[in-house]
């Protein structure tokens, strides 16, 4: 394995799967920033601007086929000062995606090839169990290991912090929890200890929870612009693009813009993992297609009645499942219409040639 590439996360998993994609003129490089259709890619030779090769752009059927931050791609390095050409997207080990914001029923990729997702909620103003569950579903769906960070802990008493952590555990959430404060430095050493060289970490959370400030503290310098917090303790900085940063320790961090919408699409596996406790009860239901709402012999409802299952946890599960099922059905219908339209265009072109 190329030891220089391994410092950027290119391990044996990628090496094995990239063999067929890397022609003699191509080399693997990692996407470190995306701004519309302009890219920055990093290779041991350095970081350089890149653009999509025409053939690659034409072959892409959807946004999922295009590179995002953290992706590995096959690039052709320029002989002189021009941009590198991206010819192919290499297989993804993990991914982070959501439903596109607004009414569009499609996927939006956030980042790829992440090892751990740090889900950051600032206490007390940003703490929200239901939003935390949404982030956990997204992380689990993309096969990421989630870790919860409670930031701005200097703004609350120790008793209140303990209550919030207890609330997380009472909701059935088992992911590790780390409290920290960018202002006082409490918890920063524990956070640094979680970061390993050659591994990639993603910071997720609403605008102003301290993601960029945390990166600056870890880097020991202002690598990202931040602004002062408001009078309520809420941050005012908003990251405008996703980017991958290589720390001096060798760990890599992806900072992401704050996400107001966390729509769920294609999250069956993520729901199963996030609500594994409910899944364990569901496995004991009388009917395999039980909706866990009214059926006789439903083990989930039985657990709810005896108090073994928390009602708020159950209601959150139903709400997220209903949303995900609705979007999945809409997406399937959209794909069917797209295929039908594609066939129509092909047929029309054939008739014009006659």
**Which pLDDT does position 217 carry in this prediction?**
86
Tell me which residue has tokens 């099922």.
325
Strands (DSSP E) contained in the chain are 27-35, 38-43, 46-52, 72-76, 84-89, 95-99, 107-112, 116-122, 145-151, 177-179, 200-204, 243-246, 252-255
Determine if residue 233 is left, alpha or beta; phi over 0 gives left, psi from -120 to 50 gives alpha, anything else beta: left
pLDDT in tens, 288-322: 889 899 899 999 999 999 999 989 889 988 888 88
If you compute the radius of gyration of the chain from its CA atoms, what whole number of angstroms results?
23
How many Cβ atoms from other residues are within 10 Å of residue 322's Cβ? 11
pLDDT single digits (tens) 133-144: 989 998 998 999
| 272 neighbors 243 (Cβ within 8 angstroms) | no
Q: How many residues does the chain have?
A: 354
The answer to which of 54-58, 160-164, 233-237 has the lowest mean pLDDT is 233-237
Spatial distance between the Cα atoms of 29 and 78, rounded to a whole number of angstroms: 13
For each of the domains in the chain, give its residue range(s) and CATH number, in order of start. 3-89 (2.40.50.140), 95-255 (3.40.50.300), 268-348 (1.10.40.50)
Task: Report how far residue 112's alpha carbon sits from residue 97's, in angstroms, rounded to the nearest whole number.
Answer: 9
Summary mean pLDDT of the chain: 83
pLDDT for residue 97: 84
Report how far apart the first and last C-alpha atoms of the chain are (Å, whole number): 54
> In this model, does residue 261 exceed pLDDT 50?
yes
Cα dist from 282 to 174, 295, 317, whole Å: 19, 12, 12
Please tell me whether residue 122 adopts helix, strand or coil conformation: strand
What pTM did the predictor assign?
A: 0.81
**Distance between CA atoms of residues 205 and 239, nearest Å:** 11
In three-state secondary structure terms, 267 is coil
Contact, 29 vs 70, CB < 8 A? no
Distance CA 331, CA 108 (A): 13
Residue 127: both structure tokens together: 């703490």
Cβ–Cβ < 8 Å for 257, 211:
no
Helix (H) or strand (E) holding 17: helix 12-18
pLDDT category at 68 given cuts 50, 70, 90 is very high
């Amino acid at each position: 394995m190329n030891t220089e590439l391994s410092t950027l996360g290119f391990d044996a998993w990628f090496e094995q799967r990239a063999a067929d994609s890397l022609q003699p003129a191509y080399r693997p490089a990692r996407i470190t920033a995306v701004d519309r259709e302009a890219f920055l890619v990093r290779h041991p030779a350095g970081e350089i601007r890149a653009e999509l090769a025409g053939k690659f752009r034409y072959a892409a059927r959807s946004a999922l086929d295009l590179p995002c931050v953290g992706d590995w791609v096959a690039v052709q390095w320029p002989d002189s000062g021009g941009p590198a050409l991206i010819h192919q997207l290499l297989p993804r080990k993990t991914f982070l995606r959501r439903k596109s914001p607004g009414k569009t029923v499609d996927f939006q990729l956030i980042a790829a090839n992440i090892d751990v997702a740090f889900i950051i909620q600032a206490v007390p103003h940003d703490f929200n169990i239901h939003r935390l569950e949404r982030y956990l579903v997204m992380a689990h769906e993309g096969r990421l290991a989630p870790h919860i960070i409670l930031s701005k802990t200097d703004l609350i008493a120790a008793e209140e912090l303990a209550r919030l952590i207890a609330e997380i555990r009472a909701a059935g959430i088992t992911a590790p929890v780390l409290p920290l404060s960018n202002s006082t430095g409490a918890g920063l050493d524990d956070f640094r200890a979680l970061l390993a060289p050659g591994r990639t970490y993603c910071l997720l959370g609403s605008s102003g929870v301290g993601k960029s400030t945390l990166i600056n503290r870890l880097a020991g310098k202002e690598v990202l612009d931040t602004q002062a917090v408001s009078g309520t303790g809420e941050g005012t900085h908003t990251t405008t693009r996703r980017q991958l940063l290589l720390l001096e320790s060798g760990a890599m961090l992806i900072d992401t813009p704050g996400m107001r919408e966390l729509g769920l699409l294609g999250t069956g596996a993520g729901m199963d993992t996030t609500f594994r406790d409910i899944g364990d009860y569901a496995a004991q239901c009388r009917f395999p297609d039980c909706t866990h709402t009214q059926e006789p012999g439903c083990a989930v409802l039985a657990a709810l009645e005896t108090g073994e299952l928390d009602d708020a946890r159950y209601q959150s599960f139903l709400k997220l499942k209903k949303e995900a099922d609705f979007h999945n059905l809409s997406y399937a219908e959209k794909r069917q219409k797209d295929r039908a339209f594609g066939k129509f265009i092909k047929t029309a072109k054939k008739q014009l040639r006659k």
